[in-house]
């Protein structure tokens, strides 16, 4: 009984992503009208804001997956939480860079403090940037997963609180044009929604891709261990969690790590 491969459905998902991204780009550059105030520069909105939204949802999703891990102690939930946060961090970096480009174009500065969404995003990003160093610094895989999950839940709860606090603290002297998503006229709203869909699908595809790759590597490691009859459990130096597939039997009764994973994992429900 081996776990269902993570790669199932990856092809369909990536095709859907390609279609969505192509559609979104076409809409952005051929359909959406020019905005009165910012002109052509406003087009960055269609890549910056979806990246921000998906990134934040990814962080919160990482926290939810971490709750599942703490409840079930199944290391696969921890792996999913890790991937969700990891990819969200990359998307977050993209958000900050595109936001900075937009700020430079709008106001001539590479950074502005009166844009609460961008500022709170920076704070959240700085927090999540410590996630991997935290994992790196704990060697025992079970404790690493547990501590990382506690961090993910804490940080996930912090995201909305931080946004509220920063938004409350910003003076509204300058119009917040960077994140005005309300009152979008029809064509712009449609373009925005399709862009959001495209970035969401991209996030899902990358997550699935990474989970598949990790799972494959774990299976190769398990195969190697079984072939050479090693009893010591795998200890990677990297921050990536070590997840054994369901069917991996411990090579010897002394392999506590395998026994713990074997006892904790539930059959089915993968991806």
Partner 1 sequence: MSATLGESPAAAAPAAGAPAARRGAGFGSTVAAVLRKELLVELRTLESVPAMSLFAVTTFVIFHFALNRGSVEGDLAAGVLWVTLLFAAILGVNRLFVADADQGGFDAFLLAPVDRTALLVAKVLTLLGFLVALEIVAVPAFSILLLAPPVGPALGGLAATLALGDLGVAVIGTLVAAMAVRTRARDLLGPLLTLPLFVPIVIGGVRCTAPLLELTHRSGPPARWLATLGVYDLVFGLLAFALFDFLVED
Partner 2 sequence: MLLAELPALPLHTAGKYVAAAYIVLFAMVLVYVAIMAVRMSRTERELGELLEQLDRDGREPSGGDAAARRSPGAVE
Contacts with partner 2, residue ranges (CB under 8 A): 25, 33-41, 43-44, 47-48, 51, 90-91, 93-94, 97-98, 101-102, 104-106, 185, 188, 202, 206, 209-210, 213, 216-217, 220-221, 223-224, 227-230, 234-238, 240, 242
Of 122 and 206, nearer to partner 1 (C-beta) is 122
Q: How far is the CB of 98 from partner 2 (least distance, A)?
A: 4
Q: Within 10 Å of residue 128's Cβ, how many Cβ atoms?
A: 24
Summarize as ranges the residues that interact with partner 1 (CB under 8 A): 70, 123-124, 126-127, 130, 133-134, 136-139, 143, 146-147, 149-151, 153-154, 157-158, 161-162, 164-166, 168-169
User: Residue 213 binds which entry of partner 1, partner 2, none, with Cβ cut-offs from 5 to 8 Å by kind?
Assistant: partner 2
Judged by DSSP in three states, 35 sits in strand
> Which structure tokens are listed for 209?
């891709």
Contact residues for 21 (Cβ-Cβ < 8 A; gap 6+): 198, 201, 202
Judged by DSSP in three states, 271 sits in coil
Taking the C-alpha atoms of residue 69 and residue 146, their distance in angstroms, rounded to an integer, is 8
User: Residue 19 binds which entry of partner 1, partner 2, none, with Cβ cut-offs from 5 to 8 Å by kind?
Assistant: none
Are 6 and 268 a contacting pair, CB within 8 Å? no
Q: Within 10 Å of residue 10's Cβ, how many Cβ atoms?
A: 17
User: Residue 40 binds which entry of partner 1, partner 2, none, with Cβ cut-offs from 5 to 8 Å by kind?
Assistant: partner 2
């Amino acid at each position: 009984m081996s776990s269902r491969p993570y790669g199932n459905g990856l092809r369909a998902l990536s095709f859907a992503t390609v279609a969505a991204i192509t559609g979104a780009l076409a809409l952005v550059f051929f359909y959406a009208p020019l905005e009165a105030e910012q002109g052509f520069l406003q087009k960055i909105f269609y890549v910056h804001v979806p990246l921000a939204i998906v990134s934040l949802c990814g962080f919160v999703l990482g926290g939810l997956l971490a709750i599942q891990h703490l409840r079930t102690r199944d290391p696969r939930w921890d792996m999913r939480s890790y991937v969700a946060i990891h990819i969200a961090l990359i998307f977050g970096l993209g958000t900050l860079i595109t936001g900075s480009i937009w700020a430079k174009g709008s106001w001539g500065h590479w950074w502005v403090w009166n844009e609460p969404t961008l500022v709170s995003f920076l704070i959240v990003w700085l927090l999540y940037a410590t996630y991997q160093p935290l994992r790196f610094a704990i060697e025992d895989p079970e404790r690493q997963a547990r501590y990382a999950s506690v961090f993910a839940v804490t940080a996930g709860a912090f995201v909305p609180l931080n946004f509220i606090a920063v938004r409350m603290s910003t003076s509204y002297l300058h119009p917040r044009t960077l994140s005005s998503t309300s009152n979008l006229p029809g064509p712009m709203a449609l373009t925005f929604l399709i862009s959001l869909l495209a970035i969401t699908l991209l996030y899902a595809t990358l997550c699935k891709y990474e989970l598949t790759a990790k799972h494959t590597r774990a299976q190769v490691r398990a195969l190697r261990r079984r072939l050479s009859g090693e009893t010591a459990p795998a200890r990677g130096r990297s921050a990536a969690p070590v997840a054994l597939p369901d069917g991996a039997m411990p090579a010897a009764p002394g392999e506590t790590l395998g026994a713990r994973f074997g006892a904790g994992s539930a059959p089915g429900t993968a991806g």
